[in-house]
Amino acid sequence: MRFRPSAERFHSQLDWLDSWHSFSFSYHFDPGWIGFGPLRVINDDTVAAGRGFGMHPHKDMEIVTVMVQGQINHRDSMGHSEVLKAGEVQRMSAGTGVVHSEMNLGQEACRFLQIWIEPDQRDLKPAYEQKPFSIGRDWTALLDPSGRDAAMAISQTLFLWRAKPKPGDDLSVPDQGGSMLWLQLIDGALSWSSQQGEPATLVKGDGVGVHRDDPRLQRLQGADSGADVLLFAMNG
């Protein structure tokens, strides 16, 4: 089991950016926290109005942005110029190479989770997809290798779901996906089958990685009215 408490994440703060990194990122490096399976980056970013990330390159990475609050303007070398709004998810396959920018042109700060996933093949053709999702109290599929259940396809054997359970709602781990699970709390709190010495409740920013057979994630329950959670399933 890998437990990443919110307060132990890496933290980058600028006058326009507040960013929390679950795994090693940029100048933050810890060999014990390189990633989890093909999952390499989970950054929780808050960007001030009128600011953002200028044009910068990516290569051989599946980049997924889950918009939590506000909106971000995306432009890239494939010719896309889009506005990503709260409730929407963006998937960009960098493949042989993409240059893009992410600017908050709105009037208020925006917040999103940016996730980097290693693809199962290198030098893929760059691709872009964006769509809205209606997130309910049970799991909604966001990513699926085959694009089933209205999820977005991804070049990796990795599944991603999101849920917003109410207090007392039970969440069961879906059957699909590989042997490794990573749970990430976007907001609120979630109770889990913790063991002695572990917190009984997971809170905003906490992350947990376990084998599918581990009992800790077999019983998940909403613990407050603001719970918002991501669940990844993948192979090691």
User: How sure is the predictor about 149, in pLDDT bands with cuts at 50, 70 and 90?
Assistant: confident
Percentage of the chain with pLDDT > 90? 91
Q: Quick: pLDDT tens for 42-74.
A: 999 999 999 999 999 999 999 999 999 999 999
Q: In the block, which residue shows the tokens 């769509």?
A: 131
Strands 140-144 and 152-153, by their bridges, are: parallel
Q: If you average pLDDT over every residue of the chain, what do you get?
A: 96
Q: What is the pTM of this model?
A: 0.96
- pLDDT, residue 82, reads 96
Give the three-class secondary structure for 6.
Answer: helix
Q: Which of 94-98, 166-170, 213-217 has the lowest mean pLDDT?
A: 213-217
Q: How far apart are CA 233 and CA 73, in angstroms?
A: 29
Q: Other C-beta atoms within 10 Å of 123: how many? A: 10
Statement: residue 207 has pLDDT above 90:
yes
Q: Quick: pLDDT tens for 21-37.
A: 999 999 999 999 999 99
- For 219, the enclosing helix (H) or strand (E) is none
Statement: residue 236 has pLDDT above 80:
no
Radius of gyration in angstroms for the set of CA atoms belonging to the chain, rounded to a whole number = 17
Statement: residue 197 has pLDDT above 90:
no
Statement: residue 218 has pLDDT above 90:
no
Q: Quick: pLDDT tens for 97-123.
A: 999 999 999 999 999 999 999 999 999
Statement: residue 194 has pLDDT above 90:
no
What is the extent of the structural domain holding 222? 2-234
Phi-psi domain of 83 (left: phi exceeds 0; alpha: psi -120 through 50; beta: other)? beta
Chain mean position to CA 186: 9
Q: Other C-beta atoms within 10 Å of 191: how many? A: 19
Domain count, the chain: 1
List the CATH number of the domain containing 136.
2.60.120.10
Higher-confidence position of 225 and 141: 141
- pLDDT, residue 195, reads 87
Ordered strands of the 39-47 beta sheet: 10-13, 17-21, 39-47, 110-117, 62-69, 88-93, 127-132
Q: How far apart are CA 210 and CA 156, in angstroms?
A: 19
Measured CA distances, 180 to 103, 128, 176, 209, 231 (Å): 34, 27, 11, 7, 11
Q: Quick: pLDDT tens for 83-97.
A: 999 999 999 999 999
- pLDDT, residue 36, reads 98
Burial (Cβ within 10 Å: 0-12, 13-18, ≥19) of residue 15 = exposed
What is the token pair recorded at 207? 């992350």
